[in-house]
């Protein structure tokens, strides 16, 4: 019997075999359904036509910026191709670099990835000459090139985050033959290859050919994280971007990883101004919808599966007595908004374990651990497992509210005397209701004036003890609550900026905002600032209305 794997290993090393196989045996078809670019292949000529028309109508001879856009995985490549056409239509010189992977957690045989590479190259060449395309698999890094110690360490960190994110774990075993060790080695190999290819390509350019800016999704994980680190080490300005729960909006960060959600500059500009009545009405309406488990306007995520029942109803359901209530609102383990956010703990799991052990000795209060409702959609380990491992015998004064329990988080907020949060948004929302919060992780709302922000375990315990000494008198002041409402408004409505095509629905959104409309005067009035900032122009927070 022929060993197909062995045959592929041989064919993968022979020149032109994969390319000829794809052309004559596969007849130009995709290797797998999860890497089918047929919609992109059909749409690219039309996008380029609209972009060329927009170029021709421009009233300036400015050649624009040299923009390098990088993506991997089918959906990011499709979206990046659309963004490339948009930037080209706005007069920029665009290179779309890509890696033709369909999956980040399994290895590819060289024969297979070469077939996938030639397929992607065939599709994306339809954008020529408007957009230059570059497969980083086709770049041969200079022989003997070594990474700096700093960059190599950064790529190791990216690979660890990849492993944590994929397996939804925080403790990664890097030795032996465990699942995490195998995945880490794969991710490190891929990330090193991606970084080396980008640096090799940059080295081949003359100074006037180097990109003015690199634009890449996320910038924290997978090859996007590796490319971010490599570009920063080479002195290339980088803009990272992601999409949250709002349609028609995009998150981005300049020379930073967007998932860090850095809002300091925004807050410096806005903290001393008051919200208008319409702004207050807007944030109140959003908060009401979040409380009651309803979708609101352009928000697409619904975490609460149960409407508000009232705090006293929840007290009865959980069997809580008059002792003070501490609400620990947990994140999902391995969520990208928690990885690398430790300040005084080893990680979020360590923070959870030590926190529940601390409260196991505090029978004078009741601890409610609210497991994130988002766990219902994921397959990783639960916070409940962490708690039960830390406390094999859970004391009677500690309650676990699991992801599928029909209890609304905001009913728990209503009865809480103190909140504990790592990075979850609930840690920002509790102060909006007057509940003091002690923050354990590096989150965007930390240090904004309405939370308690320890930097050591000793300080954490002290702040908790202090808050519980007189819990009824420890409610936040009116000015602190107003500050929390103000920050929430700017975080939800100013931090993400208008953008026509959300990743998860951009094919549908193209019907409302086809490329020609987005490039028109109407589209640029709506999205022009965002496109300029994505192209690397410094973001001006005061320009946001």
Same domain for 506 and 487: no
Percent of the chain with pLDDT over 70: 91
Q: Let me know whether 319 and 232 are in one domain.
A: no
Rounded to whole angstroms, how far apart are CA atoms 38 and 135?
18
Q: Which two tokens stand for residue 253?
A: 């960060």
> For residue 9, what pLDDT is reported?
61
Structural domain includes residue 200:
no
- Establish if 173 belongs to a structural domain: no
Residue range(s) defining the domain that contains residue 82: 4-143+207-261+499-543
pLDDT at 405: 86
For helices 521-534 and 74-89, the axis angle rounded to 10 degrees is 110
Residue 523 lies in a domain: yes
Average pLDDT over residues 246-268: 94
Whether the predicted pLDDT of 348 surpasses 80: yes
Pull the structure tokens for residue 157.
């960190």
Which CATH number does the domain housing residue 295 bear?
3.40.50.2000
384-420 per-position pLDDT tens digit = 999 999 999 999 999 999 888 888 888 999 999 999 9
d(CA 501, CA 495): 17
Distance between first and last Cα of the chain: 68
**Does 389 lie in the same domain as 458?**
yes
pTM value is 0.91
**Mean pLDDT, the chain, as a whole number?**
90
Looking at 8-17, 122-131, 280-289, which range is the least confident one? 8-17
Q: pLDDT of 349-365, one tens digit each?
A: 999 999 999 999 999 99
Higher pLDDT, 437 or 144: 437
Are 321 and 432 in a shared domain?
yes
Has residue 399 been placed in a domain?
Answer: yes
| Domain end position, chosen among 460, 478, 493 | 493
Q: Are residues 274 and 256 in the same domain?
A: no
Structural domain total, the chain? 2
Q: How confident is the model at residue 310 (pLDDT cuts 50, 70, 90)?
A: confident
Strands (E), 259-301: none
* Domain-embedded: residue 202: no
Same domain, 453 and 309: yes
Pair (358, 471) in one structural domain: yes
Other beta carbons within 10 Å of 57: 11
Please check whether residues 509 and 488 belong to one and the same domain.
Answer: no
Strands 418-421, 398-401: parallel, antiparallel or unpaired by DSSP? unpaired
With respect to residue 524, please indicate whether it lies within any of the assigned structural domains.
yes
What pLDDT digit, counting tens, does each position of 42-97 carry?
Answer: 999 999 999 999 998 876 767 899 999 999 999 999 999 999 999 999 999 999 99
Are 230 and 331 members of one domain?
A: no
156 within some domain = no
Q: pLDDT at position 145, please? A: 67
Whether residue 220 is found in the same domain as residue 343: no
Sequential DSSP letters for 109-155: -HHHHHHHHHHHHHHHGGGTTTSEEEEGGG--PPTT----HHHHHHH
Regarding whether 489 and 510 lie in a shared domain, the answer is no
User: Is 322 a domain residue?
Assistant: yes
226 shares a domain with 124? yes
Residue bearing the bigger pLDDT, 376 or 444: 444
């Amino acid at each position: 019997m022929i060993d197909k794997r062995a045959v592929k290993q041989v064919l993968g090393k022979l020149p032109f075999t994969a390319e000829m196989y794809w052309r004559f045996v596969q007849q130009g078809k995709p290797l797998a359904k999860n890497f089918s670019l047929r919609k992109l292949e059909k749409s690219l000529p039309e996008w380029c036509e609209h972009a060329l028309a927009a170029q021709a109508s421009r009233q300036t001879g400015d050649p624009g910026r040299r923009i390098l856009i990088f993506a991997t995985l089918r959906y990011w490549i499709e979206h990046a191709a659309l963004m490339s056409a948009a930037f080209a239509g706005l007069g920029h010189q665009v290179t779309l670099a890509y890696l033709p992977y369909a999956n980040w957690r399994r290895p590819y045989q060289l024969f297979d990835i070469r077939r996938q590479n030639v397929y992607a190259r065939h599709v994306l060449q339809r954008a020529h000459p408007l957009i230059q395309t570059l497969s980083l698999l086709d770049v041969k890094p200079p022989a003997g090139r070594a990474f700096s110690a700093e960059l190599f360490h950064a790529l190791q960190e990216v690979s660890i985050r990849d492993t944590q994110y994929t397996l939804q774990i925080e403790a990664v075993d890097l030795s032996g033959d465990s699942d995490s060790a195998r995945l880490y080695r794969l991710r490190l190999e891929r990330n090193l290859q991606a970084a080396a290819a980008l640096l090799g390509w940059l080295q081949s350019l003359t100074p006037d050919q180097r990109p003015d800016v690199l634009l890449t999704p996320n910038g924290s994980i997978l090859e996007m994280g590796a490319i971010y680190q490599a570009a920063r080490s080479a002195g290339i300005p980088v803009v990272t971007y992601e999409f949250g729960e709002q349609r028609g909006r995009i998150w981005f960060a300049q020379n930073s990883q967007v998932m860090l959600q850095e809002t300091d500059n925004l807050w410096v500009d806005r903290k001393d101004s008051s919200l208008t009545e319409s702004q207050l009405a807007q944030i109140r309406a959003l908060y009401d919808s979040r409380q009651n488990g309803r979708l609101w306007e352009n928000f697409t995520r619904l975490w609460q599966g149960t409407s508000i029942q009232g705090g006293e109803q929840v007290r009865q359901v959980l069997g809580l007595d008059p002792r003070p209530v501490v609400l620990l609102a947990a994140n999902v383990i391995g969520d990208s908004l928690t990885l690398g956010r430790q300040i005084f703990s080893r990680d979020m799991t360590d923070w959870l374990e030590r926190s529940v052990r601390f409260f196991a000795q505090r029978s004078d209060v009741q601890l409610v651990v609210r497991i994130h409702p988002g766990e219902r959609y994921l397959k990783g380990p639960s916070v409940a497992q962490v708690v039960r491992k830390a406390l094999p015998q859970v004391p009677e004064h500690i309650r676990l509210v699991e992801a599928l329990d029909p209890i609304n988080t905001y009913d728990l907020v209503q009865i809480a005397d103190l909140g504990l949060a790592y990075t979850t948004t609930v840690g920002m929302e509790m102060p909006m209701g007057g509940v003091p919060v002690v923050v354990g992780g590096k989150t965007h709302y930390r240090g904004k004036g309405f939370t308690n922000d320890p930097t050591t375990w000793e300080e954490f315990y002290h702040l908790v003890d202090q808050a519980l000494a007189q819990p009824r008198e420890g409610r936040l002041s009116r000015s602190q609550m107003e500050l929390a409402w103000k920050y929430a408004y700017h975080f939800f409505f100013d931090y993400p900026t208008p953008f026509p095509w959300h990743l998860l629905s951009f094919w549908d959104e193209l019907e409302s905002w086809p490329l020609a409309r987005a490039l028109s005067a109407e589209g640029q009035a709506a999205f022009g600032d965002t496109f300029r900032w994505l192209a690397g122009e410094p973001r001006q927070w005061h320009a946001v209305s």
